[in-house]
């Protein structure tokens, strides 16, 4: 299984959330972004407010679309049915809020499944929603854009990591030629093509989409019953697929290096580090963690074992079955590129979709973005 290679927030920077399911008075156009991934179906509806956006409504459901995909190469009837039911809820929300500006995308599971076209026709027939399958490069670019507000002014080398359900995207960006006060904006200006050259702007050194995420990596080793052994095998297998990523052999730079991690794995590890028994986005998004702190959380997960993780309120019922495959990916990355500054991003593809639509329409501008200092 070879990695895909290139050919050659909820708000920015902060947001207000209106009560879910309430009809708001008209005060500007509404935008929607839907991310149909291997494990979850998630949607945000928001309106632009100055240089930010305000979330009006949201939806998230673990549909397990990719269940069984690793073995069969096809989406199962049960997983497609679960997903269609979730999308029908999304359609009702879109109708309720009268949203006309939207981008609804599917990622790795639909890229890989042999019956993906049949499934998209089923979605259109049952829900009327125009779901499009996007490529790995666009998925990575949108994840990078969503994380722009977390870029530190001192950062010269940036690694953005998006651990999904079916794939993991890594993007290495050179920022040393960019004015420190412009580095967040430079990330926003990354265009549709990572290979484009921009004088004085952010430069993508390399990117990779590894076809292993929390669900697909777990499924690869589902028959391994030894918990520590399974974790070690998952970590080793993931690292094997990083060999062609140009920065792999170089390791972490001595200074000016930052990793931004966006995924349920990273936010769960952060919540565990903070000891949160109830998730609090305001404490997690933007949190900085060191390699040593992340390793300590993962050692705790291993010590708990499967039953202990299942009952740990910091992990949650919907995440416990996936946390160790995600932790294997995260620990592998931190071993290769150790850092004292991994920024936790509770934002991702949906936020990137919203921001790109709003910038395209002139509803918000990247000049309103202020980077993180410190």
Average of per-residue pLDDT across 147-172: 93
Question: Is 281 among the domain residues?
Answer: yes
Q: For the beta carbon of residue 311, count every other beta carbon within 10 angstroms.
A: 10
pTM: 0.84
Q: Are 326 and 297 in contact (CB under 8 A)?
A: no
With a cut of 80, say whether residue 122 has pLDDT above it: yes
pLDDT digits (tens, 9 = 90+) for 195-226: 555 545 789 999 999 999 999 999 999 999 99
Range of the domain at 221: 146-349
User: Length of the chain, please?
Assistant: 374
Compute the CA torsion angle 232, 235, 240, 246 (nearest 10 deg).
Answer: -140
Q: Calculate the CA 209 to chain-centre distance.
A: 12
Q: Is residue 96 part of a domain?
A: no
Residue 83: inside a domain: no
Q: What is the pLDDT of residue 332?
A: 96
| Tally of CB atoms within 10 A around 37 | 26
The proportion of the chain whose per-residue pLDDT surpasses 90, expressed as a percent, equals: 66
Q: What is the pLDDT of residue 331?
A: 96
The pLDDT score that the predictor gives to residue 2 is 44
Residue of 13 and 209 predicted with greater confidence? 209
Provide mean pLDDT across the span 3-22.
Answer: 39
The answer, yes or no, to whether residue 13 has pLDDT greater than 60, is: no
Structural domain includes residue 5: no
What mean pLDDT do residues 170-189 have? 90
Report in angstroms the alpha-carbon separations of 77 from 45, 186, 280. Answer: 29, 44, 35
**What CATH number is attached to the domain comprising 301?**
3.30.420.150
Alpha-carbon distances of 158 from 118, 151, 250, 252, 345, rounded to whole Å: 39, 8, 14, 10, 14
Helix (H) / strand (E) containing 119 = helix 116-127
The predicted structure's pLDDT at residue 26: 53
pLDDT at 28: 78
- pLDDT of res. 149: 87
For 241-282, the pLDDT digits (tens) are: 999 999 998 888 888 999 999 989 999 999 999 999 899 999
Distance CA 214, CA 323 (A): 7
Is the model's pLDDT at 322 over the cut of 50?
yes
Number of domains in the chain: 1
In a domain, 54, yes or no: no
For residue 52, what pLDDT is reported? 80
pLDDT at res. 191: 61
């Amino acid at each position: 299984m070879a990695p895909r290679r290139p050919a050659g927030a909820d708000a920015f920077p902060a947001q207000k959330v209106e009560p879910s399911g309430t009809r708001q008075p008209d005060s500007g156009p509404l935008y929607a972004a839907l991310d149909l991934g291997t494990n979850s179906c998630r949607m945000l509806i928001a309106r632009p407010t100055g240089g930010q956006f305000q979330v009006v409504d949201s939806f998230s459901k673990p549909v397990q679309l990719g269940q069984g995909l690793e073995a069969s190469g096809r989406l199962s009837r049960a997983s497609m049915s679960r997903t269609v039911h979730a999308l029908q809820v999304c359609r009702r929300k879109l109708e309720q809020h009268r949203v006309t500006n939207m981008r609804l995308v599917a990622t790795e599971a639909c890229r890989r499944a042999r019956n993906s076209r049949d499934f998209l026709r089923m979605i259109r027939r049952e829900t009327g929603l125009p779901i499009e399958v996007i490529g790995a490069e666009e998925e990575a670019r949108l994840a990078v854009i969503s994380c722009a507000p977390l870029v530190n002014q001192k950062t010269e080398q940036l690694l953005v990591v998006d651990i999904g359900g079916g794939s993991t995207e890594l993007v290495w960006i050179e920022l040393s030629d960019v004015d420190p006060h412009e580095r967040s904006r430079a990330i926003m200006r990354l265009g549709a093509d990572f290979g484009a050259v921009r004088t004085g702007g952010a430069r993508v050194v390399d990117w990779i989409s590894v076809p292993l995420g929390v669900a697909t990596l777990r499924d690869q080793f589902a028959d391994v019953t030894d918990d520590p052994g399974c974790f070690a095998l998952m970590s080793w297998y993931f690292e094997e697929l990083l060999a062609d990523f140009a920065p792999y052999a170089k390791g972490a730079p001595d200074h000016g290096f930052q990793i931004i991690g966006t995924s349920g794995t990273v936010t769960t590890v952060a919540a565990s580090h903070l000891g949160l028994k109830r998730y609090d986005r305001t404490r997690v998004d933007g949190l900085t963690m060191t390699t040593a702190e992340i390793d300590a959380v993962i050692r705790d997960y291993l010590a708990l074992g499967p039953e202990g993780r299942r009952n740990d309120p910091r992990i949650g019922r919907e995440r416990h079955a996936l946390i160790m495959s995600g932790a294997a990916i995260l620990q592998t990355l931190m071993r290769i590129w150790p850092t004292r500054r991994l920024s936790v991003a509770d934002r991702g593809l949906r936020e990137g979709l919203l921001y790109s639509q709003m910038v395209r329409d002139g509803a918000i501008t990247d000049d309103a973005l202020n980077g993180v200092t410190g």
